[in-house]
Chain A
Amino acid sequence: MSFDPGLFMKAMSHQAPPYILEHLNLVLIPMGIAILIALPTGIVITRPGYRHLSPRIMAVFNAGQTIPPLAVIAIFFPFLGLGYGPAILALTIYALMPIARNTITGISTVPEDIKEAARGMGMTSWQVLRRVELPLSVPAIMSGIKTSAVLTVSTAVLAALVGGKGMGAIIFAGINFFQPELILAGTIYIGAMAVFIERFIVLMEWLLSPAHLKG
């Protein structure tokens, strides 16, 4: 297998770019759905009535995280078949776990005396959640979203295997046709996307962080 710089330049400038948007969709859509599901779930699980469930649910989330992404896709393939939809679903499930886990950890590590004082001042439980627990959990929640997003950028490559398109298509094409130029170009774009998304979330995290941590 030889490396052809001309072919590599062509892959970088023409073949790979059309997949960027597709790949971003494979990241942003599952992330969006995952946040919409995991955040409220994490909040509900930390409410007094359900708190006793949280160790068990955390155990499920932790176990879920240890399954390799390819296996997640493989598990769902028999039920959902091939294509874009199943890929989105598998990626969503995979993205859920770090967000839910960090939301639960974040909220349940808000010190008891702070919540106690807030209630003692006459805040309703909704006000305690909205004004005390959530603001103080922002760093943990955002770090869960960050982990999840970076993971999804790389896992989404596998979507191509089940016909889900994305940057994986060009990488697997490179593997199938013995063209390392394509693999390298795809990988570079994946890396760039991961770095870009991570930086963006760090910025969001800073904007949303509780005031006393901004220093």
Chain B
Amino acid sequence: MIELENITKKFPGADSFSVDRISFRVNEGNICVFLGPSGCGKTTILRMINRLEEPSSGNIFVNGKNVLEVDPSGLRQSMGYVIQQIGLLPHRTIEQNVGLVPELLGWEADKTRKRVRELLEVMGLKPDEVVRKYPHQLSGGQMQRVGVARAMAADPPIMLMDEPFGAVDPIVRIRLQDEFLSLQQKFQKTICFVTHDINEAIKMGDYLIILNQGRLIQMGSPIDVLTSPADEFVLSLIGEDRGVKILDLTRCETLMEPMRETPDDLMGSGCFVQSIQPVKLALEVMMKKDSDHVAVCREEKVIGLLSWKNIKKHINRVSGEDE
């Protein structure tokens, strides 16, 4: 668990606070996303958690321990750290790069070697192909994967990630995000994740912390933020397509009308979705099949009917607009 208590940061020579009296808590096993425009203080907050920056005032507790009272190097070795520029050491092989923290911790060479191979595999790289290579011999996507593998090498319970998928093209980014989320299902790390991309924030975050000019504007789950943005700033950050984004986070079962009998025509024509799939997908099916409603199934069984009217009503309700 990570807890920030009234943290402020003012850089020498700056006339305003980069981080202004911020308090929040990140629970174990959660991904907490810091979201905001550049200069909002999100990276500074992240860097204060592993003491790459020192707060001007306030306290930071990690698992109950005040980080300002522990040795910074040891603290950093106990947290995974991933940055957008990756920062692999160019003169070290991939094996040495990933094994960096174990090396600093004094692991035996054999144990490190095994761990490195295991991690590269987890990150979707072929160990035999890459271990002897140097970073400049890899593609951007491969380097990002190595960067994440390096951060996870000593199995830290906490990961700090500063736009970790920011340096790759959108297609690779989406794949890396998906892979990372499925890894997270398994490993349940406590993660602080910095991004300026609202879509990435909604996708990755269990919890969003929205910042502007050093101040905390809103925190809450993605759906909370989308359905009740705190102010104009959050609204502009979310963008015009708020309704569609909400539909991406809403399951079909929450908007359907329960129904027992099977509408054969819908099932027969393939006009159905699974109950846990997002409403956005139901819209896609409706458009493709040119239908006003879809059947909602749980596995093989039909449990309800989702109509265009229901969806519209929902959008209008959450956007606070009248029908």
Contacts and interface: CB of A to CB of B under 8 A. Distances in A.
Interface string A127-139: 1000110011000
A211 to B, nearest CB: 5
A116 B83 contact: yes
Contacts of B135: 212
B79 to A, nearest CB: 8
B233 to A, nearest CB: 29
Interface residues of B, number: 28
B147 to A, nearest CB: 8
A210 B134 CA distance: 11
Contacts of B76: 119-122
B87 interface: yes
A161 B134 CA distance: 52
A118 interface: yes
A127 B89 contact: no
B277 interface: no
Given A123-B73, A136-B91, A113 B150 contact: no
A136 B136 CA distance: 14
B87 A118 contact: yes
A121 B77 CA distance: 6
A135 B78 CA distance: 26
A contacts with B: majority SS? helix
A114 interface: yes
A116 B76 CA distance: 12
A119 B52 contact: yes
Interface in B181-230: none
A165 B33 CA distance: 72
B83 A122 contact: no
Given A118-B87, A121-B150, A212 B104 contact: no
A124 B73 contact: yes
A120 B83 contact: yes
A132 B89 contact: yes
Contact of A114 (B50, B77, B89): B89
Contacts of A115: 87
B91 A117 contact: no
B52 A116 contact: yes
Given A120-B50, A121-B104, A121-B150, A211 B91 contact: yes
Interface in B55-98: 73-78, 81, 83, 85-93
19 contacts: A113-B83, A113-B86, A116-B52, A116-B85, A117-B81, A117-B86, A117-B88, A117-B147, A120-B52, A120-B83, A121-B101, A122-B78, A123-B73, A131-B89, A136-B90, A136-B91, A210-B90, A211-B91, A211-B93
Would you list the 10 A-B pairs with minimal beta carbon distance, nearest first? A117-B87, A122-B77, A210-B91, A113-B85, A122-B76, A120-B81, A212-B134, A113-B87, A122-B73, A114-B87
